[in-house]
């Protein structure tokens, strides 16, 4: 069990994924400063109830630990960061600090049960290859593991225009092959 700050968003970050964020609220500026100074991760959780800005929102229970992979401050008071997803976690207890920042006691969840991409899901790999060819190699954090059900399913879930509840549902699956098969079925419709 460990403790981390939570960044509550209308987004779902998968392990190995990247998420650009624009930070301007003081609670998140303080969090980012501490994470950069101490080289510590923070948690990203989808908002269940509430909003990204203002009063603390209520997050879902399963989130993704993230580290700041890059940052820039193009203007005073606005920090641009790129968060890189690391591990899934479950929130055990949550509290709100006086500045409105949510902190949580968490337990890390096991990594996805990975498997090679099954033959019936090769169209998912071809779709990702086309996206990479059109958008460039910088879209996804290298290495591009196009033979991995975990990597392919996570990247597809990130880029497909799915409702956030569907992305969260896919994120919470621990079997990467099952996640990829579900995405393959969605794409086949």
Task: Give residue 136's pLDDT.
Answer: 79
119-188 — its CATH code? 1.10.4060.10
Read off the pLDDT of each residue in 5-20 and give the average, rounded to a whole number: 96
Is 137's pLDDT higher than 90? no
Least confident of 37-46, 62-71, 79-88, 106-115: 106-115
Q: Which two tokens stand for residue 137?
A: 């190699």
Least confident of 11-20, 72-81, 90-99, 108-117: 108-117
DSSP the chain: -EEEEEEEES----TT-EEEEEE-SHHHHHHHHHHHHHT--EEEEEEEES-SSSSPPEEPSEEEEEEEEEEEEEETTEEEEEEEEEEEEEEEEEEE-TTS-EEEEEEEPPPPB--BPPGGGHHHHHHHHHHHHHH-GGGSPSS--TTBHHHHHHHHHHHS---HHHHHHHHH-SBHHHHHHHHHHHHH-
Sign of the C-alpha dihedral computed for residues 57, 63, 68 and 72 taken in this order? negative
| CATH assignment of 2-108, among 2.60.120.200, 2.20.28.270, 1.10.3210.10, 2.30.130.40 | 2.30.130.40
Domain ranges of the chain: 2-108, 119-188
Average pLDDT over residues 59-69: 97
With a CB cutoff of 8 Å and minimum separation 6, the contacts of 124 are: 117, 152, 153, 156, 180, 183, 184, 187
Question: Mean pLDDT throughout 64-81?
Answer: 95
CA atoms of 120 and 141, how far apart (whole Å): 25
Mean pLDDT value of segment 79-94? 97
Question: Over the chain, what is the mean pLDDT?
Answer: 93
Percent of the chain past pLDDT 70, that is, above it, reads 99
Q: Which residue has the higher pLDDT, 25 or 188?
A: 25
**pLDDT, position 52:** 84
Predicted structure pTM score: 0.92
pLDDT recorded at residue 185: 94
């Amino acid at each position: 069990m460990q403790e981390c700050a939570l960044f509550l968003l209308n987004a779902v970050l998968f392990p190995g994924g990247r998420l650009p964020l624009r930070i301007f609220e003081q609670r998140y500026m303080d969090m980012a400063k501490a994470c950069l100074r101490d080289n510590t991760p923070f948690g990203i959780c989808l908002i269940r109830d509430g909003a990204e800005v203002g009063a603390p929102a209520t997050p879902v229970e399963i989130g993704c630990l993230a580290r700041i992979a890059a940052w820039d401050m193009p203007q005073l008071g606005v920090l641009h960061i790129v968060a890189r997803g690391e591990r899934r976690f479950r929130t055990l207890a949550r509290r709100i600090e006086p500045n409105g920042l949510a902190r949580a006691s968490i337990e890390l969840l096991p990594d996805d049960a990975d498997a090679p991409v099954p033959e019936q899901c090769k169209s998912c790999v071809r779709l990702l290859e086309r996206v990479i060819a059109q958008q460039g190699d910088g879209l996804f954090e290298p290495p591009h593991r196009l033979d991995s059900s975990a990597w392919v399913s996570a990247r597809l879930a990130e880029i497909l225009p799915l409702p956030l509840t569907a992305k969260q549902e896919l994120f919470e699956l621990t079997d990467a092959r099952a996640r990829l098969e579900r995405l393959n079925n969605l794409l086949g419709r």
